[in-house]
Amino acid sequence: MGLGLALSMVFSGCAGSPDQGSAAPLTADQRLSRTERLGDRLFHDTTLSEPQGMSCATCHNPERAFGGNNGSGIGVALGSRPGALGIRNTPSLMYGSFSPAFSVDRDNTPSGGQFLDGRVDGQAEQAGKPLLSAVEMNNPDQATVVAKVAASAYAEDFRRQYGSDIFTRTDDAFAAIGAALAAYQQTPEFHPFTSRFDQYLRGKDTFTPTERRGMALFFNPLTGNCVGCHAADQSSGNPRDSLFTDFTYDNLGVPRNTAIPANADPLFFDLGLGGPKRTLPNGDPSFNGAFKVPTLRNVALREAFMHNGFFTRLTDVVDFYATRDTDPARWYPGGLKFNDLPPAFSGNVNVTEVPYDRQLGDAPRLSPQDVMDLSTFLRTLTDEAFVGALPAAN
Ligand code: HEC
Ligand code: HEC
């Protein structure tokens, strides 16, 4: 929804989540609501890029569950300058506020954080990054961004909220911009829990036989085992127990996307937790090539899949899970597996967990029919507002 609907939500007092009932009184204090509104304005403000014309929403398209790549067509985001291409696919922002801060637990398992490599802890800190990234909004420094907000139509609201001298304090103003953007991303617009799957959990919708079959495969530890990483609980009536990610990291051996300009250099590799945008947690080389498990909520709306946008069809992603090891020639040139990792790190790829425990000559864990049914089930994870934007099945 754009600003209009967000404003009307605030003024009509129904900013609560659907779970709380549509007529819930506005309990959040006005200050928070104003912060959210400022975040909404900032998120859609196309004057905040260099050159102007790009906002957060240009890549995080509100009509496609806040994902998209600004029309690059190659699976990674196109920035504000012509030809400014990054190395990563734009994630959906839906349900992202549930990600905890980045940490590595006692079992040496990394989890949480923002970005596909968890390099920042929260959304407030995150928001500053695209504003200053040369391949995204391309502002040279914080002062430039602050000056743009000071000249905006909502500058007065900003002063009222953060103090009349806020724009003279660059660090504070930039932090306030991040906080407002984070507050906006925490509103129910970003976690409505209105998918058919949610309604099914609430006992308010039924699934077709195909959807039920796909769901069973998703949860079965011996076939799809998708739930092993895309955590969900079909016996809980509370949709919050089904975020379809456990926020951990894994290395799936996704094929190299040769359309990414940085990949023209055969020695360049995007290793996720292993850099180039961060340093290895605990210096542990086994994390090289691991990326965050994304939520599968609204996944059927994505125009590209996986960290490097290699896949463009949902059924292909599921097929890759099924046949990566039984028929590698389908995915890797010459059948040479794990071609987006330096040979020294190919041993980091997950080859033990179902469905990835197969070898050449084995039968895949999932048949072609299973792949179709699983993909059909994934379409039920689409929130109501986006159902009209779903691409045709298969
Ligand atoms: C040029 C396209 C582009 C623009 C503009 C853009 N982003 Fe992003 N965004 C991305 C990409 C690509 C990533 C993944 C980057 C990575 O993992 O290194 C990302 C990641 C994120 C994440 C982390 C999501 C997750 O699942 O970890 C958040 C939050 C986010 N962006 C918010 C914003 C906000 C707020 C703005 C505006 C200030 C913005 N983005 C502008 C492309 C964009
Ligand atoms: C061992 C953990 C694990 C298991 C099991 C798993 N996934 Fe994933 N999944 C991931 C990770 C990690 C990524 C992101 C990888 C990347 O970007 O390199 C991912 C990405 C995806 C994506 C792309 C999402 C996007 O926004 O780009 C889809 C679709 C998906 N998984 C579906 C499934 C299905 C269906 C199953 C069961 C057949 C499954 N996954 C099993 C860890 C797992």
How remote is the CA of residue 266 from the centroid of ligand 1, in Å? Answer: 26
Task: Say which residues have a Cβ less than 8 Å from residue 58's Cβ, sequence separation at least 6.
Answer: 46, 49, 70
Q: Which residue has the higher pLDDT, 356 or 1?
A: 356
How remote is the CA of residue 107 from the centroid of ligand 2, in Å? Answer: 22
> How far is residue 105 from each of residues 49, 215, 248, 251, measured CA to CA in Å?
38, 30, 11, 18
Q: Which of 185, 192, 187 minimizes the C-alpha distance to 43?
A: 185
Tens digits of residue pLDDT in 269-290: 999 999 999 999 999 999 999 9
Tens digits of residue pLDDT in 178-188: 999 999 999 99
How remote is the CA of residue 90 from the centroid of ligand 1, in Å? Answer: 6
- pLDDT of 33: 82
217 lines ligand 2 (CB under 6 A): no
126 lines ligand 1 (CB under 6 A): yes
**Where residue 25 falls among pLDDT bands split at 50, 70, 90?**
low
Q: Which of 131, 139, 133 minimizes the C-alpha distance to 50?
A: 139
**Dihedral angle computed from the Cα positions of residues 329, 335, 338 and 344, in that order, rounded to the nearest 10 degrees:** 170
Q: Which of 187, 188, 207 minimizes the C-alpha distance to 197?
A: 207
CA distance 191 to 186: 8
On the question of pLDDT at 12 being above 80, the answer is no
> How far is residue 314 from each of residues 94, 304, 309, 373, measured CA to CA in Å?
18, 8, 11, 12
- pLDDT of 247: 98
On the question of pLDDT at 336 being above 60, the answer is yes
Indicate which residue's Cα is closest to atom 20 of ligand 1: 115
Length of the chain: 394
CA distance 205 to 64: 23
How remote is the CA of residue 92 from the centroid of ligand 2, in Å? Answer: 14
On the question of pLDDT at 193 being above 50, the answer is yes
Tens digits of residue pLDDT in 119-138: 999 999 999 999 999 999 99
Closest atom of ligand 2 relative to the 296 alpha carbon: 24
Per-residue pLDDT averaged across 191-212, rounded? 97
CA distance 298 to 375: 12
Instruction: State the sign of the Cα–Cα–Cα–Cα dihedral 140, 141, 146, 147.
Output: negative
- Comparing 19-33, 208-222, 279-293, 304-318, which segment has the lowest mean pLDDT? 19-33
HSE, CB side, 13 Å, CA atoms: give it for residue 205. 16
Tokens of 232: 């969900």
Question: 371, 378 in Cβ contact below 8 A?
Answer: no
Task: Say which residues have a Cβ less than 8 Å from residue 116's Cβ, sequence separation at least 6.
Answer: 88, 91, 272, 291, 292, 294, 307
On the question of pLDDT at 265 being above 70, the answer is yes
Per-residue pLDDT averaged across 217-244, rounded? 97
Best mutation site among 251, 296, 318, 348 for ligand 2 pocket (most ligand atoms within 8 Å of CB): 296
Per-residue pLDDT averaged across 283-303, rounded? 98
110 lines ligand 1 (CB under 6 A): no
What's the mean pLDDT when you consider all of the chain? 92
302 lines ligand 2 (CB under 6 A): yes
Amino acid found at 185: Q
Tens digits of residue pLDDT in 154-172: 999 999 999 999 999 999 9
Indicate which residue's Cα is closest to atom 33 of ligand 2: 226
